[in-house]
Structure 1
Amino acid sequence: MPDRTLPIRTTAAVALVATGLLLTACGTTPKPDAPAAPKRTTAPAAPEKPAAEAAATLGGPGTACALPVSFALAKGWKPEAVKDPENPEFAELTRQGPAVMRCEVDAKPTGNIGYLRVWTVAKGPARTALEGFVKAADQPSAVAYRETRAGSLAAVEVTYTSHGELTDETKEQRAFAVATPKGPVVLVHLGGLDTDEHRAMLPAYELAKSTTKAL
């Protein structure tokens, strides 16, 4: 004779099903379990670029470029004075708007393709000089100015994009300008082959800006 006794677990399951049917028949639907609260996740912070190591000073007596200001050069960057910058034959290379290029600091020894270039403007407010410089750039766009400090000096800084002829693409640029006690406005510009190169060289630019001093 077969055993008609249901196992305890089966009996319990049947009872629960019956209860559910009874509740449904009475117009009461069991409430579903509340969904689990989503776990909060924190996006990892973008890694900060390490500060550039200062290796030399540019602009003072005995340095590669005679300038109305001095600032610290990042390790590996190679400065060179621009020869005969006032010569009109070289104007296409040494002039941009009201600014005349006085010094180029090459990043190639560090593995990057770009320059810190130092320009001077004969006179005028730093903001006016910087605006004239940017307007003369290649198709400038997304131009944004802000008041800042360059070392202990009041400064104006600009970020913008321009169209690169070699890469045929838009790339980031930036520069800061200070008015010196002796008259000329000094403008320090960071370009780069493209935006990636520009961003890789920012620590050297920030080092120069944070250490600028009038001579």
Structure 2
Amino acid sequence: MPQRASIRTAVPGALVAAGLLLTACGTQADSPAAQPAPVAPTSAAPPSAPAQNRPAAAAGSLGGAGTACELPVSFSLAKDWKPKAIKDPENPDFAALTRQGPAFARCEVDAKPAGNIGFLRVWTAPADQGPARAALEAFVKAQDKTSGVLVKETHAGGLPAAEAVYTVHSEALDEKKQERAFAVDTPKGPVIVHLGGLDTEEHQEMLPAYELAKQSLKVR
């Protein structure tokens, strides 16, 4: 995005908070004689996964007693990501910012100190909202201007989980951007961990922190 650098510095803090995711072609030889000789197999290791699919190194934790946000789950935090509890999320006066579908925002982890514009947010839904996948699907459905929603079964910290990857139309940039979230069941109800971002590039740069949260998650 040519103007991305200027956009990152110009976006108002309030907007960021409220915003609070090759086809291979081959050729065929004309004759058997033109075909290359067979290549002997090698013991080379397969290419590693893209960097954004690998978890960041842990530099803290969230969710347990004494952490910034006490939650039904705990997970590891990436370096310089700053968590903050959301006060009184069930207050109807704040519903536009703190409620989405069946879920209430409980904690947000700011990526700006780590160099990105976006948040990792933790949401909880009441136990009567059904299993984690149903709560996640309702959560995504309640978000404005979503498209291309893909929900799949996965694992978070070895626990059964559901994950949604989708796009949202950004009013600020007048373009689509990627977002994603995963959900797990807990004795206190479903927990949803969501990653947004100013745009798709920011979102992808923050994926290692999201993967760290997903792979290290434990139910408390």
Structure 2 length normalisation: TM-score? Answer: 0.76
Calculate percent identity across the aligned residue pairs: 64
Residue 188 (structure 1) aligns with = 193
Alignment partner of 1:68 out of 68, 72, 91: 72
Runs of 4+ in 1 over 4 A off after TM superposition: 34-39
Higher relative contact order (CA 8 A, sep 6+): 2
Letter in 2 for 1:75: K
1:138–1:164 Cα contact (<8 Å) kept = no
In 2: Cα distance, 1:46 partner to 1:195 partner: 22
Alignment partner of 2:172 out of 141, 144, 166: 166
Q: CA deviation at 1:37?
A: 5.6
Residue 19 (structure 1) aligns with = none
Q: CA deviation at 1:48?
A: 2.2
Return 5+ residue gaps in structure 2 as ranges: 1-31, 38-46
In 1: Cα distance, 2:107 partner to 2:161 partner: 19
Q: CA deviation at 1:165?
A: 1.6
1:174–1:190 Cα contact (<8 Å) kept = yes
Q: CA deviation at 1:152?
A: 2.4
2:152–2:162 Cα contact (<8 Å) kept = yes
Q: CA deviation at 1:84?
A: 1.1
Residue 50 (structure 2) aligns with = 48
Which deviations, in whole Å up to 9, do the C-alpha atoms of 1:158-191 show, x marking residues without a partner? Answer: 101111121111110100000103x311000000
1:113–1:193 Cα contact (<8 Å) kept = yes
Which deviations, in whole Å up to 9, do the C-alpha atoms of 1:86-109 show, x marking residues without a partner? Answer: 111110000111110000000001
Q: Work out whether 1:156 is the aligned partner of 2:162.
A: yes
CA RMSD, Structure 1 to Structure 2 (Å): 2.1
Q: Work out whether 1:200 is the aligned partner of 2:205.
A: yes
Q: Work out whether 1:214 is the aligned partner of 2:214.
A: no
In 1: Cα distance, 2:55 partner to 2:184 partner: 22
Which deviations, in whole Å up to 9, do the C-alpha atoms of 1:99-153 show, x marking residues without a partner? Answer: 1000000000111000000000002210110011001112111111111111021
| Larger deviation, residues 50-59 vs 62-71 | 50-59
Q: CA deviation at 1:35?
A: 9.4
Q: Which of the two has higher C-alpha Rg? A: 1
